[in-house]
Structure 1
Amino acid sequence: MSFAFAGVSNCMFDNYSDNELLLQRLCNNDLKAFEYLYRNSRNRLYVLALSILNDENAARDLVQDFFIDLWYFRIFETITTSLNAYLYQSVRNRAYNLKEKLRTHDRLKQGYLPQEQAMRYPLENEELGNIINRAIDQLPAMAGKVFRMQYIERLTHVEIAEKLGISKHTVSNHIARALKDLRATLKKNL
C-alpha cells in the first residue's frame, strides 16, 4: 500500500546514489541533492587535496571553495563525464594549481635579498627595486592593482575579490597575467 502526502515531494524519499539522477536533481536546483553530494564526497576529496598539498587548512579550504563554486556558478550543468570523475579531476587540478602558485610565491619571496644583505648592497637593491616598480607600473591597471594587493598588501584572493567586487577566478587571472608580464619585462631588463 502506497501513501501520498499532499504537498510533500517524492524527491524527499529519493536515493541520490545514482549519479545521473543526482546531476538531474542538481540541475533542478535541488538543495538536498547538493547536500547529499557534499556530505558523500567532501572527505575523499579532502584526502585527495591533502595528499597533493600536504597542508590540512589549504586542502580543507580548497574543497570548500570547490563546492561553493560548483553550486554558485552552476558548474554541474556543464558536466559531460561521470560526476565522480569530474569531482576528482577538478579537485586534483585545483590542488596542483594551488601547489604551483605557492611554489611561485615562495620563489618570488626567495628572490628578494634578506635585510642584512640589503644593507650591504644598498645601491644594487635600490636599482632592482626601481626596475621592479617600473615593471609593475607597466602592467594593465587592474592587473597591477591586484598584483600589489596580493604581494605587497598580502591580501588573499577572497579579500581582493571582495574589495574590488570581482570573482576569485578573475583575481587569479589578473595575478597570472601580471606574473607572466612581469617575467617577460624583468627578463629584458635584468
Structure 2
Amino acid sequence: MVTNLNMSDQDLLSLFKGGDTAAFKMIYERYWQLLYVSACKVLKDEEEAKDVVQEVFISLLNKGATLEINVSFSSYLYTAVRYKVFDYISRKKVRQDHLDTLDNYVSAGNLCTDHALLEKEINDEMEKEIQNLPEKMRIVFELSRKAELSHKEIADILNISDKTVKKQINNAIKLLKPKFINHYFLLF
C-alpha cells in the first residue's frame, strides 16, 4: 500500500504492476494535469484533451502487470499521449474527409449508388491496409496523407529527421500501392 507521497515513479510503477490500486491513483494524480496540458496544447480543445488523457490511463490500467517500459515512466506517458493525440487528429481528419466527400457527391448530383458503394469498399479496404502498417510507419503516413502535414512538421512533432519521414512514407506507399493498383481503374 502506497503511503509515501514522495515515492519515485519506479517504485510506484512496481507497486502498480503488483496490483496496488493506490499506486495507480497516485500515478494518475501526479501526471493527469501535466498530460492534459500537453494534449490541450496540440488539440486546442479541452474535452478532446481530457478524452485522450483518459484513454492513456485506461490503457495503462488495462496493461497492468504486463506493462513493459524501456524509458523513464514520464517519457513513456508523454509519448503515449503524443501518439493518442496524433491518432485522434488522424481519425478526426478521416471522418471529416468522408463527410466532405459525401457532401461533394450530393451537392454535385453525382450520387451514383454503384460508384459510391465501390468507392466505399475500396476506402474501407485501404483503411484496413493502412491500419496493418507497422505502428510508426502508419502514424507518419496518416499524418502526411490524412492530416496533410509537411515532412518537416511531422519530423518536428515526432522528433525524427525529415529523411526518416520521407523514407517511412515511401515505404508505406510501396506496401500499399500493389494492393490497390487495380482499383484505381475501377473508379475512373
Would the aligned equivalents of 2:40 and 2:46 in 1 still touch at CA under 8 Å? yes
Would the aligned equivalents of 2:28 and 2:57 in 1 still touch at CA under 8 Å? yes
Q: Is 73-82 or 90-99 further displaced after alignment?
A: 73-82
Provide the rounded CA distance (Å) in 1 between the counterparts of 2:29 and 2:122.
46
For residues 81 and 116 of structure 1, do their structure 2 counterparts lie closer, same or farther at Cα, with a shift above 3 Å needed?
closer
Q: CA deviation at 1:189?
A: 2.2
Matches within 5 A, 1:160-175: none
Aligned to 1:38: 28
Aligned to 1:24: 14
TM-score (norm 1): 0.60
Which digits, 9 at most, give the CA deviation of each residue in 1:51-99, with x for residues without a partner?
A: 1111211110111111111012227721121111111111011101111
Pair 1:47 & 2:37 matched? yes
Pair 1:117 & 2:104 matched? no
Matches within 5 A, 1:135-150: 135=122
For residues 54 and 76 of structure 1, do their structure 2 counterparts lie closer, same or farther at Cα, with a shift above 3 Å needed?
farther
Provide the rounded CA distance (Å) in 2 between the counterparts of 1:133 and 1:116.
15
Pair 1:129 & 2:116 matched? yes
Which digits, 9 at most, give the CA deviation of each residue in 1:17-66, with x for residues without a partner?
A: 31121111111111111000101110110111111111211110111111
Which digits, 9 at most, give the CA deviation of each residue in 1:96-125, with x for residues without a partner?
A: 11112211221221112357624xx3xx32
For residues 94 and 82 of structure 1, do their structure 2 counterparts lie closer, same or farther at Cα, with a shift above 3 Å needed?
same
Pair 1:189 & 2:148 matched? no
Pair 1:108 & 2:98 matched? yes
Secondary structure of the corresponding residue to residue 79 of structure 1? coil
For residues 76 and 186 of structure 1, do their structure 2 counterparts lie closer, same or farther at Cα, with a shift above 3 Å needed?
same
Provide the rounded CA distance (Å) in 1 between the counterparts of 2:65 and 2:100.
37
Would the aligned equivalents of 1:70 and 1:76 in 2 still touch at CA under 8 Å? no
Identity, in percent, stands at: 21
* Runs of 4+ in structure 1 over 6 Å off: none
Provide the rounded CA distance (Å) in 2 between the counterparts of 1:30 and 1:134.
47
Provide the rounded CA distance (Å) in 2 between the counterparts of 1:100 and 1:112.
18
Provide the rounded CA distance (Å) in 2 between the counterparts of 1:186 and 1:59.
38
Which digits, 9 at most, give the CA deviation of each residue in 1:104-159, with x for residues without a partner?
A: 221221112357624xx3xx3214324235547x95xxx7xxxxxxxxxxxxxxxx
Unaligned runs of at least 5 residues, structure 2: 129-175
Which digits, 9 at most, give the CA deviation of each residue in 1:163-185, with x for residues without a partner?
A: xxxxxxxxxxxxxxxxx79x937
For residues 69 and 116 of structure 1, do their structure 2 counterparts lie closer, same or farther at Cα, with a shift above 3 Å needed?
closer
Secondary structure of the corresponding residue to residue 17 of structure 1? coil
Indicate which of 63, 67, 72 corresponds to 2:57.
67
TM-score (norm 2): 0.61
Indicate which of 5, 10, 33 corresponds to 1:15.
5
Unaligned runs of at least 5 residues, structure 1: 1-10, 144-179
Would the aligned equivalents of 2:17 and 2:65 in 1 still touch at CA under 8 Å? no
